[in-house]
């Protein structure tokens, strides 16, 4: 019988936190400059790509695709309101999913 250990990496957690911060800062700057409706995921995704926070095989379009697939606002609304998922749990899943997909 194979027993799987839970994988926890401080480095991965720190990278995920840093990438989340870079993404949020980029989004904030763009929202202020261009407004929410005019801000695209590709523009937000360019932040972590420009800083080198993501794997070399991802460009801004690839990161935008991951962001889009990982969380559509309709899914968020459905999971939180209809399914009763705790917001913190959903946010943690989102950060972990994006980090695993794009971090270097």
> pLDDT tens-digit profile of 6-32?
667 788 778 777 777 777 787 788 888
Go through 51-83 and write b for each residue having 16 or more CB atoms within 10 A of its CB, e for each that does not: eebbeeebebebbbbbbeebbeeeeeeebeeee
- pTM above 0.75? no
Give the per-residue pLDDT at 7.
Answer: 67
**What residues pair up with 8 in beta bridges, in sequence order?**
none
> Which range among 4-13, 29-38, 53-62, 81-90 shows the weakest confidence by mean pLDDT?
4-13
Q: What is the predicted pLDDT for the residue at 104?
A: 61
pLDDT band at 1 (very low <50, low <70, confident <90, very high): low
CB neighbour burial string for 3-23, b if at least 16 within 10 angstroms, e if fewer: eeeeeeeeeeeebbeebbebb
pLDDT at 74: 75
Residue 63 is predicted with a pLDDT of 79
CA pair distance 43, 3, nearest whole angstrom: 43
pLDDT of residue 50: 79
Report the pLDDT value the prediction gives residue 67, as an integer from 0 to 100: 75
Enumerate the domain spans of the chain.
11-102
Q: What is the pLDDT of residue 5?
A: 66
Query: Taking 80 as the threshold, does the pLDDT of residue 61 lie above it?
Result: yes
């Amino acid at each position: 019988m194979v027993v799987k250990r839970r994988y926890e990496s401080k480095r991965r957690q720190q990278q995920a936190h840093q990438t989340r911060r870079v993404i949020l800062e980029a989004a904030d700057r763009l929202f202020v400059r261009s407004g929410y409706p005019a801000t695209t995921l590709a523009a937000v995704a360019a932040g972590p790509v420009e800083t080198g926070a993501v794997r070399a095989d991802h460009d801004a379009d690839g990161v935008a695709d991951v962001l889009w697939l990982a969380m559509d606002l309709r899914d968020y609304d459905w999971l939180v309101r209809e399914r009763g998922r705790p917001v913190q749990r959903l946010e943690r899943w989102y950060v972990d999913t994006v980090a695993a997909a794009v971090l270097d």
